[in-house]
Amino acid sequence: MAIDATFSFPIKNRRLPVDFRCLMQQGVYCGSRNPLRIIPISETSGGTAFLQVNIGCRHNQCIFCNFYKDVRFREKSEAIILRDIDTLAEYFMNQEYSQISRLMLLDADGLDIGHDQLLHILEYARSKFPVSDATNDYVTGYDEKYEQFFEHLQSAGCRALEFSSFTHTDTIISKGVAQMRELKTLGLDFIWWGLESADVELLKLIRKTRNNHADSDNEQRKLYQAAGILEKADIFYVPIILVGLGGERFFRQHVTRTIAFLEHIMPPGFSLSDLVVPDGTGYQRLIQKGSLDLLSAARLSEQRQLFENMNITSPQFDYEV
């Protein structure tokens, strides 16, 4: 789902524009003046709020994607992020204590910020969205209204706040097992992994790999390494596969290499998203030059079927742009 309405959020006087209020009421929150670009459907079904921890996409090179082409990547100051958490907590507290059980960290890669800063953000958010599990470690430092909020949630049997995020293979690797475990301890329990394909040749063509001149075998190893890190950190992760990526030219190898990879790593879940090629992208130019094509509806459905018939038992998660 793409929410591309522009809106502003005058935090100082706490007046929310109508559009933003509407988004907030749907459980959608961005915490900045930037629009939300892409959200998995299962994160919009209630219980999830959205917190922008950086702006745009640091990589911003994938030739099929224009989500952040007009956005200069910026880190956000921790003070602003914490202020957004306060605002968000206050908003939901005022919504008759609507239960929020998860914050999804945005934008393109919500883990792509300094580790200590990320830990502090998760910790702070947990302190502002009180928890109610039996071993609650976070019931400290609330002011009176948050105490009341907590008591209400506790009586409703709520769990500790959890976190989800999109992330990139290289971010997972840069964090490593130890840091991922720390994040898991503080509630990061769901990762949308923007894998797209496990065919490295295709990943290089679409510029998903951060270094297009990198050794292909090494890039392949990195995919397994990233999966191993998430596995060892015990984080539920969902690789997102782009159905139709590479067209007819890559049909066979995209399917066989990606399925072989997924059947090997056995992810806890997976997600299939049909390729959409926006105007003006590098991918569209390759189509115009005849280097790539788009699959027909029948071939797209055939490829989707092949992925759905993979020999893995993991559930499929809805995802749509």
Rounded CA separation 38/72 (Å): 17
Rounded CA separation 274/233 (Å): 29
Which burial class, exposed, middle or buried, applies to 50 when counting CB atoms under 10 A from its CB (0-12, 13-18, 19+)? Answer: buried
Considering only 76, 168, 222, 254, the residue that binds ligand SF4 (CB under 6 A) is 168
Q: What DSSP letter does each residue of 144-210 carry, written as one string?
A: HHHHHHHHHHHHTT----EEEEEE-HHHHHHHHHHHHHHHHHTTEEEEEEEEE-S-HHHHHHTT-SS
Q: Kindly state the smallest distance separating residue 206's Cβ from ligand SF4, in Å.
A: 8
Residues 175-194: x/- map of binding to ligand SF4 (CB under 6 A)? -------------------x
Q: Kindly state the smallest distance separating residue 203's Cβ from ligand SF4, in Å.
A: 11
Q: Is 108 in the site for ligand SF4 (CB under 6 A)?
A: yes
Binders in 53-92 for ligand SF4, by CB under 6 A: 57, 59-62, 65, 67-68
| Closer to ligand SF4 by Cβ: residue 57 or 226 | 57
Phi, psi (rounded to 5 degrees) for 140: -140, 150
| Closer to ligand SF4 by Cβ: residue 76 or 168 | 168
Binders in 191-250 for ligand SF4, by CB under 6 A: 194
Q: Kindly state the smallest distance separating residue 242's Cβ from ligand SF4, in Å.
A: 9
Do the Cβ atoms of 246 and 205 come closer than 8 Å? yes
| Closer to ligand SF4 by Cβ: residue 67 or 91 | 67
Q: Kindly state the smallest distance separating residue 37's Cβ from ligand SF4, in Å.
A: 8
Q: Kindly state the smallest distance separating residue 96's Cβ from ligand SF4, in Å.
A: 35
Q: Kindly state the smallest distance separating residue 59's Cβ from ligand SF4, in Å.
A: 4
| Closer to ligand SF4 by Cβ: residue 159 or 282 | 282
| Closer to ligand SF4 by Cβ: residue 59 or 257 | 59
| Closer to ligand SF4 by Cβ: residue 38 or 161 | 38
Q: Kindly state the smallest distance separating residue 305's Cβ from ligand SF4, in Å.
A: 24
Q: Which of 122, 101, 124 is nearest to 110 (CA)?
A: 122
CB atoms within 10 A of CB 128: 23
Only one residue has tokens 């990943």, namely 203
Strands 270-274 and 236-243: parallel
Query: How many angstroms from the chain centroid is the CA of residue 16?
Result: 25
Count of residues binding ligand SF4 (CB under 6 A)? 11
Using CA atoms, how far residue 72 sits from 54, 75, 107, 265, in Å, is 11, 10, 12, 35
Q: Which residues here bind ligand SF4, judged by CB under 6 A?
A: 57, 59-62, 65, 67-68, 108, 168, 194
